[in-house]
Chain A
Amino acid sequence: MYKDLERVPALVAERGLALGAPLTCRDETASTNDDAKRAAKEGAPAGSLFLAESQTAGRGRMGRTWLSARGENLLFSLVVRPNCPPSRVPPLALVAGLAVRDAVAKVVGEGEVKVKWPNDVLVRGKKIAGVLVESTVVGSRVDAVIVGIGVNVLSRDLPEAIASIATSVALELPAGAPPPDRAAILVDVLAGLDRDLGHVAARGLGLVHARLGRADALRGRRVAGELGAGTAEGVDTDGRLLVRDDAGVLHRWSSGEVTLAPRRA
């Protein structure tokens, strides 16, 4: 573990968080989500946190790779065990995006930090963090939910291929500002999840719905997905994306990749 993250256990304890311990930190792993998933199957307690300085097989949606330079970013996965029916689990993916958004906004400023449905975090339209939530359902019982998060924190030299579509906390700070504090950002994400996961699992998105609306990067924008195209009109209380097609019909999208059309001049 790099020195700056050594404060994490103390910060988790100090803030009395139910998430973040026990902490397993690896210099390199295939994927923190896989570590967390394996541990969850072997009975790891709720709140277990798996952190790595680099991933050799970091994953995004449907097996896409997630790249990160060693020690520069935050790559971690949490084991959550919500006591709720399976139908309550998908909204947790939105809570994860919101928790990351709030932690990033605390450092770079509230302005242009948004969530692209369901849970990519964007600053001025560029991706700064990604979330991959996986769950295991056996019969009608939710065994575990794995919340995997990657945040670009210290990276200043992004690979050319993604420099136009990605950013980092360091790149969003004014020139001359001290480098961002990885431990503080991590613990802020944990605190956000700690506050919201439980009540959303128990009662749905009601209490976070207004915040999701304010953070919505897609509202009013032209979007396209596997199910068609139209104008995004927010997120409903089940967490589905509302899209109005050109005939004026309102659709509720619950899955699939959504792409944003460029802003019209």
Chain B
Amino acid sequence: MDLDITQLRSLIEMLTELDVAEFEHESEGRRVKVVRGARVAVGGPAFYAPSGGAAAPGPSPAAAAAPAVDDGSVDVTSPFVGTFYRSPSPDAPAFVEIGTVIRPGQTLCIVEAMKLMNEIEAEFSGTILEIYAQNGKAVEFGQKLFKIKKA
């Protein structure tokens, strides 16, 4: 038995309207659980609802490059909690600027955690469209660092 997407939508709309954080319902061996603000999970028979929004099943949960909305650009995200640096040392020029044309293997930035200097390299050719993170500031796991237009 498939999940009725229209029913699910109206259920979520109602829960949103009433500001219900979590809802769980079970009948005939089928369980529906909705947690607002996090994700939609469906248990019971083997059935997988896509969680939330854009992210299709990627190469891994920690994928550093996540497809953004379909304009041919991708976001590079931080692989862990740390401090974001745009240059190898305080008086050195930045690895990249907005508009820099990058090639695979080119260093984009350093994320430091526990004095481990982690160089994030480009996976593909493209152009830097946006630099989201600020030099010397803390970044979270999965936080967007760069927007890159794929060549």
Chain A positions near chain B (C-beta within 8 angstroms): 41, 61-64, 85-87, 89-94, 117-119, 131-140, 143, 239-240, 254-256
How many interface residues does chain B have, given as a range?
A: 20 to 34
Alpha-carbon distance A183/B122, docked complex (angstroms): 39
Cβ contacts under 8 Å, B67 to chain A: none
Partner of B60 from A64, A94, A140 at Cβ < 8 Å: A140
Beyond the given pairs A63-B88, A133-B117, 7 more chain A to chain B contacts, judged by CB atoms under 8 angstroms and listed by A's residue number, are A62-B89, A86-B62, A90-B113, A117-B114, A135-B119, A137-B79, A139-B64
- Across the A-B interface, the 8 shortest Cβ-Cβ residue pairs: A63-B89, A86-B79, A90-B113, A93-B116, A118-B114, A255-B83, A139-B123, A133-B116
List of A residues within 8 angstroms of B89 by Cβ: 62-64
- B47: Cβ under 8 A from any A Cβ: no
Question: In the complex the two chains form, is B82's CB within 8 Å of A140's CB?
Answer: no
Determine whether the beta carbon of A119 is less than 8 Å from that of B79.
no
Contact partners of B114 in chain A: CB under 8 A? 90-91, 93-94, 117-119, 239-240, 254-255
Q: Tell whether, in the assembled complex, residue A136 and residue B65 are in contact, meaning their CB atoms are under 8 Å apart.
A: no
B15 interface residue per 8 A CB criterion = no
Measured between alpha carbons, how far is A85 from B80 in the docked complex, in Å?
A: 10
Query: How would you classify the secondary structure of chain B's contact residues: helix, strand, loop or mixed?
Result: loop
The secondary-structure label for the interface of chain A is mixed
| A138 and B119 alpha carbons, distance in the complex (Å) | 9
- Residue contact B121 to A93, C-beta cutoff 8 Å: no
Q: How far is the CA of A111 from the CA of B21 in the complex (A)?
A: 55
B114: shortest Cβ distance to chain A, in Å? 4
User: B37 in the interface, Cβ–Cβ < 8 Å?
Assistant: no
When A63-B88, A131-B115, A255-B113 are in contact, do A89 and B80 touch as well, CB less than 8 Å? yes
Which residues on B sit within 8 Å (CB–CB) of A92? 116
Determine which of B118, B122, B123, B138 lies in contact with A89 in the assembled complex, contact meaning CB atoms within 8 Å: B118
